[in-house]
Amino acid sequence: MTEIQMPRLSDTMEEGVISSWRKSVGDKVSRGEVVAEIETDKALMELEAYDDGVLEKILVDEGATVPIGTPIAGLGDGSGAAAEAASAPAPAAAPAPAAEEAPASAAEPAAAAPAAAPAAPAEPGTKPKASPLAKAVAKEKGVDLATVQGTGPGGRIIRADIEAAAAAAPSAPAAAPAAAPAAPVVAASEDVEEIPLNKIQKVSAKRLTESKQQAPHFYLTSAIDVTELMSFRGNLNERLQAAGGPKVSVNDLVVKAVATALRANPSVNVSFGGDKLLQHKRINLGVAVAIEGGLVVPVVKDADRKSVSEIAKESRELAGRAREGKLKLDEMSGGTFSISNLGMFGIEQFSAVINPPEAAILAVGAARDEVQVRDGEFVARKILRVTLSADHRAVDGAVGAAFLQQLTALLEDPIRIIA
């Protein structure tokens, strides 16, 4: 029988939730056919079968959270389910798993033990046997598996054991008063509503915290005169619409200009690799999209090789699938540089946090009318402020400044963007 495991469906995924099973035990499955829907830290994704066969086992129930690599189902020729049902002995003297416990023990057979020997907590240095669901519940409730006595088959720790241990924990004598928290914590009350973080928010919080702690950020800001760019965009959209093409946004032009500037300044299109720099040959731009409950960053691949209208069409399609939770793995991975635009919210200037393993991100604000002095006269111009956040381990200040200088020149002379 072939195991179907919880796959890694994104570069940040550590665990997944079985949202729904599309197939039932006994159903025939063809290679490439969807067998389940998996909720990840970024979206709801479809799990496709890698082989033909019959779904003989479902090891993890819908709604359960399990780490990547955990067996969640078994695929065979159809004989396994019937044979197992006929030959499986009832456990003697061991309580049955709780009703909600997923039958994941079939994925990790317990070692044989003397029939009369009682189950005991794992010895120091050994890894306690526990079902994936029990591990997930233990992680959630902060229970150390090494301190839990399993009551499942072969001494396996099941969900009921974790819940019992968690319930008993408050009654245990405290060794010492708890240390005061480093920062004030707001206690739940009638005036405070607790809103649990969703998966996207949890992973974003973890990754962005790691980014700020590990990557020494520095910031460079440029004020760009985009008066000509705005006029150019209007003329370009008139022509595109007349030809039946898609309209382009200011952000589409920025994406194309960034891709062109990165081609001219490849030292910004890098990642820090410990004792080396990783120079990316492709220019894959992540474009941040706000969705309900978080932020995702779909990637426009080879942006420097695409026209502005192609970027506009692809960006809209990616953003639409992001909001529907239908982005595929390859549409969210492989980014080499990111762009975050808050101009549509009226934000004039901000600094973004680098999206690892990338070495830089560009924050784009709103274009505003400002008074400038031109040829000794006061004139109103459209000014756009952009801020480059860069990892100083990978990008020097002069390198970042040269990139922004090139980007400014492109946006102030927009015909060069499409030339």
Active-site positions read 392
Helices (H), 186-345: 199-214, 227-242, 250-264, 308-323
The β-bridge partners of 29 are: 53
> Cα–Cα distance between 79 and 1 in angstroms, integer?
10
Q: With left for phi above 0 and alpha for psi between -120 and 50, is residue 323 left, alpha or beta?
A: alpha
Distance of CA 96 to the CA centre of its chain: 37
> Cα–Cα distance between 73 and 51 in angstroms, integer?
13
Q: Report whether 135 contacts 67 (CB < 8 A).
A: yes
121-137 core/surface letters (b: 16 or more CB in 10 A; e: else): bbeeeeebbbbbbbbbb
> Cα–Cα distance between 236 and 238 in angstroms, integer?
5
Q: Report whether 102 contacts 134 (CB < 8 A).
A: no
Kindly report the number of other CB atoms within 10 A of residue 149's CB atom. Answer: 15
> Cα–Cα distance between 404 and 362 in angstroms, integer?
10
